[in-house]
Structure 1
Amino acid sequence: MGVVQIVTATIAFAYTALAIGLFVRAGLGMLALVRLGTPDRTRQGDRGARVKTMLRESLGHTRMLQWTWVGLAHWAVFFGFFSLFPILAQAYLETLNPTWSIPWLGHWGPWLLVSEVMATLTGLGILALFGIRMFNQPKAHPVPPQGEASDAGQRDSSSRFENSRQWQAFYIEATILAIVLCFFTIRSAEWALGAIDQTWASPVSSQLAGLFSGLSEDALHTLVTVTAGVKILVSWTFFLMLALVPAMGIGWHRVTAFFNLYFKRHADGAVSLGSVKPMLIDGAPADFEKADPETEPFGVDVITDFSWKGLLDFSTCTECGRCQSQCPAWNTGKPLSPKKLVTDLRDHLYEQAPYLKAAATAKERGGDGAQIEPISIIGSVIDPDVLWSCTTCGACVEQCPVDIEHVDHIMDLRRHQTMIESAFPSEAQTMLRNLENKGNPWGENPAQRLKWAEGLDFEVPVADGGTEFEYLYWVGCAGAYDPKAQKTSRAVATLLHDAGVKFAVLGEAETCTGDPARRIGHEFMFQMFAEQNVEALNEVGAVKIVATCPHCLNTIGNEYGEAGGNYEVVHHTELLNDLVNAGKITPVEQHDGKLTYHDPCYLGRHNRVFTPPRELLGSFAEVTEMPRNSEKSFCCGAGGARMWLEEPIGKRVNRERADEAVATGAGTVAVGCPFCSTMLRDGVADAGREDVEVIDIAQLLARTQEKRAETAEAAAAGD
């Protein structure tokens, strides 16, 4: 063994031991920090399903491939990072002796070809990712004149890398590229030495070998040894960096992402949010009859009030910015960036880590653990405007490749602010008072719940326990009281009646589902509404429910199970589409003019209902899609209880969506949600386009029936 081999091997093995030791220590430290979070027993069980989900989303890159070319490039780098491990193992042998290789595998033709292909794809993938990052760099913020304060709100909303730590990403990309270059240097040198002579197995290296044709055998041996040593140092420096920079989520996600995918909310891998994560106390859904806010956290105030899954989320963020790029708040000039929210919480967690661990150790040893003054997150780490800008649309969760649950963390923060601090937007006070006193956010008289049915040609049956019906029609507060939404309620009832569907309503027994209370953070009020409505639904024997409001659909179908109510809930567009397909409703005339469809967040992303509304519209109209549609649909701005809040910051979300709808050239915007209808109607009016109609799909379908009736009457008169 020569001097070069001795020095190189000594450095490589010593550096490896140091890096592994520090990395393991950092990993154990991260585990200890995550364990400081509160319990969450909802993540237990379904191990087989969780393993399948983790493997499918990691190996299959199912979330990454929503961005096709970026996803493919990342997939290549992902597989190269893990599949080329034997090449790293062989590098240790090459530092000892440049002619050594892994027995049986090292120079086996199929392995040479596979490793060469993977290295090539990895190199091309990392160059593509580097190019994408460079092309999408945030634009420089304008520098204010001397003496003037800079605008803290200045940012490049068009770049998803705004607020990302760019040096971390560039370092990792450079690391992977360096490893690929080392691979081809060693493989080409081995070809030049004659150690490999299978051109089919090394198509790239055989071509590069000519670069070393003038080197002697000793020089080539030295090149292999030194390059192998460099490869080892570069590889383990990555892990050393993780050990030295614990908050380096863009690097740590290569380790933590597998665990985050495994422990995601839906073990079966469902993307939809559906229900809000229930408020947990001691790891289980809160029971307010037993809960004590003096001793148990209601929502989240300090960082350790988050569950351990929340702390794992913060440590897993890759800072890719996909969530930010889709966020309606961020895209309309609001201070909320889902990415920055998570990274700010992560940075705060790691700033507090030494003190939190010391306090936990002291408590384990019998002390009170009060080593530091707890820091309230809202106001010191997260600005209140960030918290209340969220529409809970779920676009961030939909896009996150490592399944971070941004909306759940925002809801936990809101719960504490609302129920403990009473620190929520003042406009919400009226809505909450109306809910408490009248059972609806508008504050209307509960005795007027059936006013929408006045003037119909038939009597709407009210379920009383003895009424026979197939579907319980849940009208909802908007459908009962809002004049525009009442038209949708009448259209749905008429269509169901004409199609021969047996249905009934609760009438005055119906009250708000509690969705706005829950989304504003008032979990206690939500539970009261849930218990009251479940009791009413069970008393009349409701099994199948049809709802015109996606918020009602989501709450009854996904959240009432917590209160003992389990029902089959469908949206009115789903049921009407089935009736059209069955021939029980026959659209007659095609809709005049161009039409576009807006996906409600709580129908689409939250409950994966994308096709039925489009099929129903397709039976009598041609749909022109907006650029942002289906899973990537843009919010109307009403979700997360923002229907009842002012929007003083930035561009109004509904105006942004209205502008997109108008830009399609459509004269009609079809909707399937009363909140979306209100918001988009206001947005279109604000844009000065009174000629554009915003209307529910049911009303459009009912028009075709009215035209048929008019045609029949005219024909009868002619006879």
Structure 2
Amino acid sequence: MYWLTLIIGLAGIAVTLALAGKRVTFLYKLAMSGQPDPERVLQVKRDPKGDVEGQLTEVLGQRKLLKWTIAGLAHFFVMWAFFLLATVYLEAGVVLLFGLDAHIPFLQSWGPIGFVQDTIAVLCLAGLITFTAIRIKNSPKKIGRKSRFKGSHTGGAWLILFMIFNVVWTMFFFRGVAWASHHLPYGDASYMSVLVGQLFEGLSKDTYEVLESIGLLLHIGVALVFLVIVVNSKHLHIFLAPLNVMFKRRPDGLGGVPAMMSDGKPLDFEEADPDEDTFGRGKIEDFTWKGYLDMATCTECGRCQSQCPAWNTGKPLSPKMVILELRDHAFAKAPYILASEEERAAFTDEQKLAMQVDKELVGEDGVIHPDVLWSCTNCGACVEQCPVDIEHIDHILDMRRFQVMIESSFPSEAGVMLKNLENKGNPWGMSEMKRLEWIEELDFEVEVIDEKMPEDTEYLFWVGCAGALEDRAKKTTKAVAELLHIAGVKFAVLGPMEACTGDPARRLGMEFVFQMLGQQNVETLNEAGVKKIVATCPHCFNTLANEYPQIGGNYEVVHHTQLLAHLVESGKLTPVTPIEENITYHDPCFLGRHNKVYKQPRDIMATVPGVKTQEMHRHKDRGFCCGAGGARMWMEERIGKRINTERVDEALETNPDTVSTACPFCLVMLGDAINEKKNSGDAPETLEVVDVSQLLIRSIKGDAEAPKEPVAAE
């Protein structure tokens, strides 16, 4: 019986390794056919500590998944069962090679090991039951788009749950018989194995040998079949997730957009050749190896989809489906991608059709529909929630770059914005001299930089296009200027020398215009000797802090809420007049998820006497977008429910007197939605949306009882 068991076991292992090895080789070749991305490797070398922290928190600690408490705990137990039950397979290997009574000296006779093995297996079973209940409750057949599994390959998920169940029951069967035949050295510590083993007490020695051999082969066989299934399915993430976490971008938050690269080097627009260089992603071969890794790592869990503001308001964009459609297209085209020129010439038209050789990456009949591409607000909810750190936004932006710069295909209204940026340096096309008009409404002087930053001036106040030119945002600008003046903080502005940071152009995909505006601003800032900047717009803040270093602009940049919170804490600003209002705060995406600034705006409100704060059910890292990001501020929203309307509906559930925020784009978008609600009678006439700085200045100046101004329509 020993020899038969050994031969069957070794033959199964050999066949499995051959099949799995072939698949892994294919996947590696496909990934390595992608564009180079040397920065991913360099960052690991520069920051090995960061990688260790990522593996401990993201992979072993399951930080993101545990935010989804029940499902997270279930996955935590199943994942750790995968690790810990590997010791059972080590023991099974010893038994296969050396006989049923063989065991690892010392270790395999230590009771706590057996206890841990049985316990994690029981917890794994509990996790499987939980997953089953979740999938039945959230079945796409029952709840449609509301299910995060909508579009996922649910059949494969059920197969994997079944295979994990097979791993657990065959383990207990094998160990139970081993206990009954006195071959399990852990004794009563393996309590579940003992419980199962009691079912087999009193059998003959020969029967035990047969049953134990069958149990051993079943347990090993399930693992071998499991391995082949895993490398051919979405559950490849079991092995790829640690790699994807290792090579992810590592800002504290989503940070800035990576610079455009071609063949692993920054793209020089002055010398670039559209026929030779890679301008974004126009075909699947243009993606980097990290892009392919993202595609192969996707678990199809749908957490990104469930948080996406576009998907939640009836639009066709699902971040999950973008990755899956790219992955499926890559696998379909892989034989062509990996073929030699001679092999490609030999392919028939039918074969090329099956391999999707001529299928557009973006198009009406392409892999990605244009409506999908242009629905993205760059809010970052998908990246924030992804448990395996897939970078959906980077891929969407890279496809936008190709569409805008090579195909000249993008929503027509965005073209007006681009033209205004090029000609006037702001999205509205207003005169640069209008950037100073807000100063005339103040009762103190504001330093305007002529050439050099005055020596006694601490901060450059980056006003931004909205802050200088949009009426509602100008109120924030004036409030911040007054607060800095009261606190004795010396600041200056650029006035007409300031141009748009280029964020709308970059997020649209027009990298050339971003580079033009960015280099102009960096030259101005560097010549003026600017070191520290305070910005009221999170988009400007993010661009100045995280993207300008790519083009030679390195500054200490703070958001106005960070600076104001510090000034309040240090006693330089003291709110005194109570504001007896119920206020709900809306987290701007580019301040929150992109830069992890959640605390300071709330700290400011907490210091204002009388204010009662009430969080919306989606807040902080799960906050819901206002709909303006990703250059959507300048594009019409024609599909589904308006995102800003959805957000205001959430705000109204808190019964607020005021909605506060810390972004001029959010101020405009939420204000427009509130006006619509007022017109329809669904919101009180006194409801307004204000920046947190406006609340602070009202309390400091004693204007808390002043009548509220209605939110003006643009």
Q: 1:378 is aligned with what amino acid?
A: V
Identity of aligned residues (%): 49
Check whether the contact 2:644–2:669 (CA below 8 A) recurs between aligned residues: yes
Q: Structure 1 residue 413 and structure 2 residue 422: aligned?
A: no
Q: Which residue of 1 aligns with 2:622?
A: 632
Q: Structure 1 residue 264 and structure 2 residue 266: aligned?
A: no
Equivalence map 1:174-323=2 (5 Å)? 174-196=162-184, 200-243=188-231, 245=232, 248-249=233-234, 251-266=235-250, 270=251, 272-323=253-304
Offset at residue 405 of structure 1 (A) = 0.4
Q: Structure 1 residue 706 and structure 2 residue 701: aligned?
A: yes
Check whether the contact 2:180–2:200 (CA below 8 A) recurs between aligned residues: yes
Check whether the contact 1:659–1:684 (CA below 8 A) recurs between aligned residues: no
Q: Which residue of 2 aligns with 1:576?
A: 564
Q: Which residue of 1 aligns with 2:411?
A: 425
Write out per-residue CA displacement over residues 457-491 of structure 1, whole angstroms, 9 at most, x where no aligned residue. Answer: 11111123152310100000001010111111111
Check whether the contact 1:273–1:605 (CA below 8 A) recurs between aligned residues: yes
Equivalence map 1:103-502=2 (5 Å)? 103-140=105-142, 156-196=144-184, 200-243=188-231, 245=232, 248-249=233-234, 251-266=235-250, 270=251, 272-359=253-340, 374-379=358-363, 380-464=366-450, 465=452, 467=454, 468-502=456-490
Offset at residue 549 of structure 1 (A) = 0.3
Q: Which residue of 1 aligns with 2:637?
A: 647
SS in 1 for 2:557: strand
SS in 2 for 1:570: strand
Q: Structure 1 residue 665 and structure 2 residue 655: aligned?
A: yes
User: In the alignment, which of 595, 605, 622 is matched to residue 593 of structure 2?
Assistant: 605
Q: Normalising by structure 2, what TM-score?
A: 0.92
SS in 2 for 1:472: strand
User: In the alignment, which of 686, 691, 695 is matched to residue 690 of structure 2?
Assistant: 695
**1:301–1:234 Cα change, 3 Å:** same
Offset at residue 210 of structure 1 (A) = 2.5
**1:525–1:100 Cα change, 3 Å:** same
SS in 2 for 1:627: coil
How far apart in 2 are the matches of 1:360 and 1:613? Answer: 59
Q: Which residue of 2 aligns with 1:151?
A: none
Check whether the contact 2:96–2:216 (CA below 8 A) recurs between aligned residues: yes
Offset at residue 640 of structure 1 (A) = 0.1
Offset at residue 278 of structure 1 (A) = 1.4
Q: 1:98 is aligned with what amino acid?
A: L
Offset at residue 539 of structure 1 (A) = 1.7
- Greater shift, 569-578 or 406-415, is seen at 569-578
The CA RMSD over aligned residues, in Å, is 2.1
Offset at residue 204 of structure 1 (A) = 2.2
Q: 2:566 is aligned with what amino acid?
A: D
**1:233–1:373 Cα change, 3 Å:** closer
**1:159–1:710 Cα change, 3 Å:** closer
Check whether the contact 2:506–2:513 (CA below 8 A) recurs between aligned residues: yes
How far apart in 1 are the matches of 2:481 and 2:15? Answer: 72
Check whether the contact 2:40–2:249 (CA below 8 A) recurs between aligned residues: yes
User: In the alignment, which of 11, 35, 44 is matched to residue 32 of structure 2?
Assistant: 35
Offset at residue 607 of structure 1 (A) = 0.4
**1:605–1:649 Cα change, 3 Å:** same
- Greater shift, 668-677 or 113-122, is seen at 113-122
Q: Which residue of 1 aligns with 2:347?
A: none
Q: 1:107 is aligned with what amino acid?
A: S
Offset at residue 709 of structure 1 (A) = 11
Check whether the contact 2:462–2:533 (CA below 8 A) recurs between aligned residues: yes
Check whether the contact 1:324–1:330 (CA below 8 A) recurs between aligned residues: yes
Q: Structure 1 residue 55 and structure 2 residue 55: aligned?
A: yes
Offset at residue 197 of structure 1 (A) = 7.2
Q: For structure 1, list consecutive stretches of 5 or more residues without a partner in the other structure.
A: 141-154, 364-369, 712-719
How far apart in 1 are the matches of 2:54 and 2:598? Answer: 25
Check whether the contact 2:188–2:194 (CA below 8 A) recurs between aligned residues: no
SS in 2 for 1:204: helix
Q: 2:243 is aligned with what amino acid?
A: F
Q: Which residue of 1 aligns with 2:67?
A: 66
Write out per-residue CA displacement over residues 118-160 of structure 1, whole angstroms, 9 at most, x where no aligned residue. Answer: 22222222322222222221134xxxxxxxxxxxxxx822211
Write out per-residue CA displacement over residues 321-363 of structure 1, whole angstroms, 9 at most, x where no aligned residue. Answer: 1100110000100000000000000000000011110047879
Write out per-residue CA displacement over residues 173-221 of structure 1, whole angstroms, 9 at most, x where no aligned residue. Answer: 1111111111112222222223347655122222333222353333233
Q: Which residue of 2 aligns with 1:100?
A: 102
- Greater shift, 88-97 or 580-589, is seen at 88-97
How far apart in 2 are the matches of 1:705 and 1:84? Answer: 62
SS in 2 for 1:473: strand
How far apart in 2 are the matches of 1:166 and 1:372? Answer: 24
Offset at residue 704 of structure 1 (A) = 1.2
Q: Aligned pair count?
A: 682
Check whether the contact 1:95–1:226 (CA below 8 A) recurs between aligned residues: no
SS in 2 for 1:378: coil
Q: Structure 1 residue 540 and structure 2 residue 535: aligned?
A: no
Check whether the contact 1:596–1:670 (CA below 8 A) recurs between aligned residues: yes
Q: Which residue of 2 aligns with 1:23?
A: 20
How far apart in 1 are the matches of 2:659 and 2:329? Answer: 44
Check whether the contact 1:271–1:398 (CA below 8 A) recurs between aligned residues: no
How far apart in 1 are the matches of 2:356 and 2:598? Answer: 50
**1:38–1:71 Cα change, 3 Å:** same
Offset at residue 9 of structure 1 (A) = 3.5
Offset at residue 94 of structure 1 (A) = 4.1
